[in-house]
Structure 1
Amino acid sequence: MARFTAFLDASVLYPAAIRDILLELAVGDLYFAKWSNRVHDEWIHAVLRNRTDLTRDQLERTRRLMNAHVRDALVIDFEPLIDGLSLSDRDDRHVLAAAIKGRADLIVTANLKDFPSSALERWDIEALHPDEFLRHQFHLRQPAFLNAVRTVRMRLKKPPRSALDYLDTLRQHGLLATASEIEPFSQFI
């Protein structure tokens, strides 16, 4: 079965609920995940700004674990591509550069307006919202997807979450279609 290579933008790594499911799917080889240290820096900075209960050491540990457990995810040496790229938000060019260098099929981002198809098509890359990406992953390999969701949910201890509570968490993070798709299978998650 063909798998996509998806470059994960900071906007989908910032919320732990989205990050956890994306990572579990990558660890389970449902798709190939890519990111860069600059993307890590962005999501870590945002979390530290908004979550005073977390420390840089905790988040750096998350970075190390991500890099260690998702095979070949870290994209490096993409910087020479940045200046030759054009996006409406110049600060997002590093994401496209790393996606190109990492041979990504798509960029998973909550900020679709920053990655218009007109700027990406030259590179044969598209941008997808995490809800759409996850919904596609669900349809490609339902049992493996549901198993990954269950694994993520079962790791939640403070507080533990029922399947329906977990689906509510996904909805709160904008994964409305994904939650709706898997709700009929809630006994498996």
Structure 2
Amino acid sequence: MRVLLDACVLFPSVLREMLLGAARTGAFLPLWSERILEEWARATRRLPAGAEAVARAEIAAMRAAWPESEVAVDEDLLRTLSLPDPDDRHVLAAAIAAGAEVLMTLNRRDFPPRTLARHGLLLREPDGFLTELHHEGFDLVGVASDVLARAESVSGREQALRGRLKRAGLPRLGKALAVSPTAGHPT
């Protein structure tokens, strides 16, 4: 499955790490455009010093891990598209150019389902998407354990997996994983 990731799902670290971890299991091929990655990097300027450099290093790692994932946006196609927020047309154009089946975003209102359907695209939000992948048998317990370990390393304190995922906007996934082994961490 080919899934275009909007900048809004790449910006939050736990959400991004869960999505990319799921992609590493072979569940889907993540896709993006240069502009989407740049949007994410620029958004980190609002964070403490050094955040943009970290984002750019992560972008380089993503490009190395998935060299086939970056798509060029056809400017002619871009001009023909209409969305409630014209600034989001590049995301739709990238999804179309990539041959994506899914457009992953948190901005549901900016991507009308009928518009996406005309281009063979389905809009998905990360929580439901990742929960379905877990139920389909992809190892999201392992992914979540790795993400939690990194979060604990950064914060310097132990965290409950379910609570961490809930704070990351993944409450359904957290609940689904709570009934699965979680590498010894409390749920």
Residue 52 of structure 1, CA deviation: 1.8
Of the candidates 12, 15, 20, which is equivalent to residue 18 of structure 1?
A: 15
Q: CA RMSD in A?
A: 1.8
The answer to whether residue 21 in structure 2 is matched with residue 48 in structure 1 is no
What is the aligned partner in structure 1 of residue 28 from structure 2? 31
* Alignment match, 2:92: 96
* Alignment partner of 1:82 is 2:78: yes
Deviation at 1:13, TM superposition (A): 0.4
Partner SS for 1:7: strand
The aligned residue for residue 114 of structure 1 is 110
> What displacement does 1:160 show?
5.3
Please identify runs of 4+ aligned residues in structure 1 that moved more than 6 A: none
Structure 2 residue aligned with 1:139: 135
Please list the CA deviations of residues 135-181 of structure 1 after superposition, one character each: whole Å capped at 9, or x if unmatched: 11111124x2222222222333123565x623212111221111111
1:152 is matched with 147
CA drift at 1:186: 4.2
Q: Which residue of 1 aligns with 2:174?
A: 179
C-alpha contact (below 8 Å) 1:7/1:104 kept by paired residues? yes
Residue 2 of structure 2 is aligned to residue 5 of structure 1? yes
In the alignment, structure 2 segments of 5+ residues that lack a partner are none
Rounded Cα–Cα distance in structure 1 between residues aligned with 2:37 and 2:109: 21
Indicate if the aligned counterparts of 2:134 and 2:140 stay in contact, CA closer than 8 A. Answer: yes
Corresponding residue of 2:62: 66
- In the aligned structure 2, how far is the partner of 1:79 from the partner of 1:133? 30
Tell me how many residue pairs correspond in the alignment: 183
Structure 1 contact 153–161 (Cα < 8 Å) conserved: no
**CA separation in 2, counterparts of 1:69 and 1:116?**
31
Deviation at 1:90?
Answer: 0.5
The alignment-based identity, stated in percent, is 30
1:62-104 deviation per Cα after TM superposition (whole angstroms, max 9, x unaligned): 1101111135211124333110111111011100100011111
Aligned to 1:125: 121
TM-score norm. by structure 1 comes to 0.89
Q: For the structure 1 residues 20 and 186, does the alpha-carbon distance in structure 2 shift closer, same or farther, using more than 3 Å as the test? A: same
Equivalent AA in structure 2 for residue 89 of structure 1 = D
SS at match of 1:83: helix
